[in-house]
Amino acid sequence: MAKSSRALDWCLVRLGEDHNWWVDEVSDPIRWDIDGLGIIDPRQMAHLIELVEPLREHGFDQELMEAAFIAFRIEREADNNRVRLKRVKDSLFDSEEKLFALPDVMDDENGPFADLVDHLTKCRVKLLNSLLHFKTKLTVDEVEDELRESQNASFIEGRSIHCFDELCAILDYAPEGWDIEDADEHGAPAEDDTEEHDIGDEELPVVDDEEEARLNKDASLKWDEEDDIEDEEPGSSLGDDEGFDEDAEDDGDGPVKQLPPRKKTSPAAKSSAKSSAKSSSKSSSKSSSKPSGKSAAKPSQKTTAKSSAKPSAKSAKTKPSAKAPAKKKAKK
């Protein structure tokens, strides 16, 4: 396995706040710039090996990836929470030992790691074009432009891009609105679950007669409108209480009918009606042979106490006056 530098034998690394490992010191500081230099740990390398497996059918070259990294193993712990790594010649794909991988970035534009980035981008584009049916084929330039835009945003914020994040951005790339895992067998984009879809009759559940009857009796399934009609008080739409017949019965054929308002009788009309009743009772008492005091008193009970007392007193005086002359003649 060809390596770009034989003078690099060891390095000191530290774990950053972003849970990535960064290089603090190298044995060849002249040719290696450690400013923002990251190193891939064994766990991250295993994840990358898993991501490149689908690319083998689209031209992935394992040897190119092997040449892009320098393998290291843990030698011992160092000061200031750092770890000293020692360079080894083992393969990153075949070794059973947990290895760190330092990207060979001595030449940023034409070095082994730069070649790996271009190679993985091309393989990823081939994979996407084979799985997803775009109207126009996806190109490498489109992917690179989008990834570069994201990297420039990180540089503006003053954040260094770790080599593991850079490779994952390529191996996980998918155009906006497309998802390889959720795409159907025809390569169509994943459907949004929030969109409404038409439901055909064949998708509706079949309900038998017994179940339908049980559902109809269930009070919890009634519409709100029915509840509002039941809760509405009868006669509330008839307006005032005047003209409403309380004794009227609702036969269920329609709404309760509104009756015309009752006429109020004035006190003068009532007194005139009572006086006519008295005069009729007097005429009837004179025509009878045996006048009864009770019959004369009964009509007077419906009137006031004063009006009933006066007629009875007069009638009592007039009756004995007719017999007075007869008694005087008898004495003489």
The pTM (predicted TM-score) of the whole model is: 0.55
DSSP-derived 3-state class of residue 116: helix
187: left (phi over 0), alpha (psi -120 to 50) or beta: left
At 139-175, the pLDDT tens digits run 999 999 999 998 888 888 888 899 999 999 999 998 8
Residue 132: pLDDT band by 50, 70, 90 thresholds? confident
Q: Which residue has the tokens 């794909």?
A: 93
Q: What's the mean pLDDT when you consider all of the chain?
A: 73
- Residue 9 CA, distance from chain mean position: 60
Lowest pLDDT segment from 54-58, 65-69, 85-89, 280-284:
280-284
At 102-129, the pLDDT tens digits run 999 988 788 999 999 999 999 999 999 9
Q: Domain locations in the chain?
A: 10-171
Using a pLDDT cut of 70, give the percent of the chain over it: 55
Lowest pLDDT segment from 32-46, 64-78, 255-269:
255-269
Write down the pLDDT at residue 87. 96
Write down the pLDDT at residue 308. 43
State the burial class of residue 239 (Cβ atoms within 10 Å of its Cβ: 0-12, 13-18, 19+).
Answer: exposed
Report the length, in residues, of the chain. Answer: 332
Q: Tell me: pLDDT of 40 over 70.
A: yes
Write down the pLDDT at residue 300. 42
